[in-house]
Structure 1
Amino acid sequence: MTQFSRFLGSLLVVNGNSQLILHGVKTMERSFSSIIAREYDVVVVGGGIVGAASARELKLRHPRLKMAILEKENEMARHQTGHNSGVIHAGIYYKPGSLKAKLCVEGMHLMYQYCDQKKIPYKKVGKLIVATDEVEIERLAELHSRAIENNVPDIKLIKGIDEIQKIEPNCVGLQALWSPHTGIIDYSQVTKQYGLDFKEKGGEIYFNFEVTKFEKSNDEDYPVLIHSKDGQNIKSKYVLTCGGLQSDKLAELSGCPRAPRIVPFRGEYLLLNPNKAHLIKGNIYPVPDPRFPFLGVHFTPRMDGSVWLGPNAVLAFKREGYSSLDFNRIEHA
């Protein structure tokens, strides 16, 4: 969830035609002990991939903006960005004509271009969506039509186990969709490179800055006062919150309704025996069951050579709890 707010009720329009008359400001690395007032045109709260990408893009479009990212951890991409299957999707599943369908296909191409430019490793291992009965074959045909309508590149319907095993020798099924441009990547690396790009353009990143309060300041030029857990303050003209699992809390802090509230679920994976990892070449997915809002448990190769099987979806008792033993009573009060 991403929000763009200013406490005075006005809106900053960010697009190619916006006219922002700002003086260039030389930026520098600062510690929290610095006596220099920290004042910014735009502050982004959250150093995951959404926050980092948003800050980078805004800085590229408007280089004269004085900007900062505030991250509560000691590095970027510590939570949702670094805890996922790491798949570069091709746009198969989404409703034709929707922004998700359009942006997934565009984003896949842009991600590969960016990774090539920055020399970030990835692998185009492809993806098989495998049907194992007649009901799934019908759903697979619908997915195939949807993928074609979404302009998913080189999507192919494969019939028969012999054709399937030309791609995945150890996979059994009746039919499958083959998406050769689906890939795998470590999104933590992408996020950290976004952060480097942002800093190279003059942006600043503050780690260990956990936002606890927003309030209206007495400074008309910098009307938003941002407080941290350890007593630090930053002033800004505008605040963009990209808080991931904490986004509803940040919304409430900014004066917005907290609803809808986040109910945390944890995805759990099995790790394939390393001696058997060679049996899986690429992503292998089931045909999704429309009764559930998930793509299903799947095999996913990782950049480190391991293979994961999952995820399931388990109600979590802590927002950032990655173990079944993690519990936070206050979050569930």
Structure 2
Amino acid sequence: MAPVLGKLCSGICQVAVACGLSGAVYYRRKYRSMATDDASTVHSLVTFSKDDRRDMYDVAIVGGGIVGVATAREIRKKYPSKRVVLIEREADVAQHQSGHNSGCIHAGMFYPPGSAMARLCPRGHGLIIDYCKKNKLPYELCGKMIVATEDSQRPIVQRLYDWGTANGVKGLEILEGEEAIKKKEPLVTGVSALWSPASGIVDFSEVTRCMLREMTAHADNKFAVKFQFDAQDFVGVSVTKSPVAGTEELVLIRGREKHHLGPEKTILAKNVITCCGLDSDIVAKHSGGIVEWVGKRLLQTYSFRGRYYQLTPERGDLVRMHVYPCPDNRRGLSVGVHFTPTVDVRRGRQVIVGPGSALALDRYGYTPYTIDLEYCFNCAFSKGGWVSLTSNFGVICQTYYMDLSKRKFLSEAQKLIPSIEAKDIVDSFCGVMGVGVAEDGTLSMDLAMEFARPRVTVQATMNKNKVLEAFKGAPSAAKAIETTGSAKPLILNVRNAPSPAATASMAIAEDIVQAATSRFQW
């Protein structure tokens, strides 16, 4: 009898756990998504048209990271007459990738010639340094050494030199032998190294905030920012102004305050550009059907956590420049544990050590113990996701172990500076980087964009007071909704902007605005 009761209790517990997990996923989805049925869609437009505070813009930028803010700034520079709104789900800009990184101003050696980043990184390097000079933001051109610690890595040093030279990076030099390396950094050990005097350090979050302050100060009623606006749905609106003027297509952005069920927030814009980083795949899915894409077509975004340590104050003078290992595919996405001095406005001057590149179990997985079951399920069973996970399973396990083990982390750092000890490093911060996954399971390390149209289009008219009147003449809400329309895109989604996106942000913004100008017919 006892074994039967034991099995029964075990079965009940398993069912209870399964129900609990299913309920958690259900309520999480409920909080993160809004109703998209015809009646709810129609109600949003009716509510918008009756709101005295209704906001209509020429361009809406969704995402307040450095790429989104730089894009808003570029539009304001190139098209000063356009009304632009920046939408951000957090309470300030640069809250995720743009504010949790090494702060390295990359020169452009890591990117194969012909790739978008090979062109954008050197261009962005110059733009961001000029911007820092003009606005008196702290930065330093401290230089970078990429060190080969064994003879088998010498060809990698040569390859990076060739790539950098082809990409237009100035001042590159190969240092042969340990003596040449120690003239630059006395404590660093290696057999060969690539020296880049053009590499530097900056606080990218402060650059982002400075751009926002600049736009706000010169808004002239042409720029606005909406914080705590979590954009969750994009609806097309076909507005008939008059029989003579014809129709105009707009986009109604529906959202809420983050983690709230209401009230709903709405913004109307002629065009939308999304730069949503870690959420880029979710926002792209909500934006509608893809019309065309630029770069590799991506299906999902994986989050990779990078853990940092920092040197204790007593060892803060250990290095004066960036010290990187040679890139190695066995480390996953990371270029390896490296040493980086900082000019961080928030954290002060430090030397940080890291990061790793552990696959996060949550889209915003800033700790190894944060788990989102829905995100994990989607990563594992999406098209291309299973291929990516199984083909890189060994690397995933190694990088996750290094993320958890200070001893393993230290052993990687000691390959560059053998004299460093466990007492010399203390915990610092974590960052999370989003990387796009293609259909074949490969991870994309280059810029990718796509153009889309909203999932449905609502018919509306505009009266003489320029107020929208939804569904005038339509017998029912459902008949005011169309699921088809022209092939003209209304939304541009930045699907992938991995490192060095912060360095290249202003150059990426130029590319985005150029693409928008062409396809949106500005």
Letter in 2 for 1:244: G
1:86 CA drift (Å): 1.0
Report runs of 4+ in structure 1 exceeding 4 Å deviation: none
Q: Does 1:244 align with 2:300?
A: no
Letter in 2 for 1:69: L
Superposition TM-score, scaled by structure 1 size: 0.85
Output aligned runs, 1:303-322, within 5 Å: 303=343, 304-322=348-366
Secondary structure, aligned partner of 1:184: strand
Q: Does 1:48 align with 2:65?
A: yes
Secondary structure, aligned partner of 1:267: strand
Secondary structure, aligned partner of 2:58: strand
Q: Is the 8 A contact 1:161 1:174 kept in 2?
A: yes
Report the Cα distance in structure 2 between the residues aligned to 1:324 and 1:51, rounded to whole angstroms: 28
Secondary structure, aligned partner of 2:323: strand
Q: 2:253 aligns with which of 219, 223, 226?
A: 226
**RMSD of aligned C-alpha atoms?**
1.8
Partner of 2:214: 197
- Residues 212-265 of structure 1 show CA distances to partners (whole Å, capped at 9, x for unaligned) of 211123545462111111411111111101110111111111113695111222
Output aligned runs, 1:133-282, within 5 Å: 133-199=150-216, 200-201=218-219, 202-217=222-237, 219-220=239-240, 221=248, 223-229=250-256, 230-256=263-289, 260-282=299-321
1:191 CA drift (Å): 0.9
Identical pairs, percent: 38
Partner of 2:367: 323
Secondary structure, aligned partner of 2:94: coil
Q: Does 1:288 align with 2:308?
A: no
Letter in 1 for 2:341: P
Letter in 1 for 2:127: L
Q: Is the 8 A contact 1:272 1:308 kept in 2?
A: yes
1:90 CA drift (Å): 0.4
Cα distance change, pair 79–245 in 1 and its aligned pair in 2 (3 A): same
Report the Cα distance in structure 1 between the residues aligned to 2:303 and 2:179, rounded to whole angstroms: 42
1:53 CA drift (Å): 0.7
1:183 CA drift (Å): 0.5
Report the Cα distance in structure 1 between the residues aligned to 2:270 and 2:208, rounded to whole angstroms: 25
Output aligned runs, 1:83-122, within 5 Å: 83-122=100-139
Q: Is the 8 A contact 2:148 2:192 kept in 1?
A: yes
Secondary structure, aligned partner of 1:213: strand
Letter in 1 for 2:274: T
1:146 CA drift (Å): 2.0
Cα distance change, pair 207–222 in 1 and its aligned pair in 2 (3 A): farther
Letter in 2 for 1:96: P
**More displaced 10-residue stretch of structure 1: 142-151 or 252-261:** 252-261
Report the Cα distance in structure 2 between the residues aligned to 1:223 and 1:71, rounded to whole angstroms: 20
Q: Is the 8 A contact 1:46 1:241 kept in 2?
A: yes
Output aligned runs, 1:28-39, within 5 Å: 35-39=52-56
**More displaced 10-residue stretch of structure 1: 254-263 or 36-45:** 254-263
Secondary structure, aligned partner of 1:204: strand
Q: How many residues align?
A: 300
Q: Does 1:66 align with 2:91?
A: no
Report the Cα distance in structure 1 between the residues aligned to 2:371 and 2:163, rounded to whole angstroms: 41
Secondary structure, aligned partner of 2:375: helix
Q: Is the 8 A contact 1:222 1:235 kept in 2?
A: no
Letter in 1 for 2:342: R
Letter in 2 for 1:213: D
1:105 CA drift (Å): 1.1
Report the Cα distance in structure 1 between the residues aligned to 2:354 and 2:188, rounded to whole angstroms: 16
Name the one with the larger helix percent.
Answer: 2
Q: Is the 8 A contact 1:123 1:184 kept in 2?
A: yes
Q: Is the 8 A contact 1:40 1:222 kept in 2?
A: no
Report the Cα distance in structure 2 between the residues aligned to 1:90 and 1:253, rounded to whole angstroms: 36
Partner of 1:298: 338
Partner of 2:141: 124
**More displaced 10-residue stretch of structure 1: 190-199 or 274-283:** 190-199
Name the one with the larger strand percent.
Answer: 2
1:114 CA drift (Å): 0.7
Q: Is the 8 A contact 1:267 1:312 kept in 2?
A: yes
- Residues 55-94 of structure 1 show CA distances to partners (whole Å, capped at 9, x for unaligned) of 1101110011011000000000001111111100001121
Q: Is the 8 A contact 2:303 2:365 kept in 1?
A: no
Secondary structure, aligned partner of 2:289: coil
Report the Cα distance in structure 2 between the residues aligned to 1:71 and 1:318, rounded to whole angstroms: 20
Q: Is the 8 A contact 1:39 1:222 kept in 2?
A: no
Letter in 2 for 1:101: A
Report the Cα distance in structure 1 between the residues aligned to 2:141 and 2:233, rounded to whole angstroms: 43
The answer for unaligned runs of 5 or more in structure 1 is 1-33
Q: Is the 8 A contact 1:317 1:328 kept in 2?
A: yes
Secondary structure, aligned partner of 1:268: strand
Report the Cα distance in structure 2 between the residues aligned to 1:130 and 1:139, rounded to whole angstroms: 10
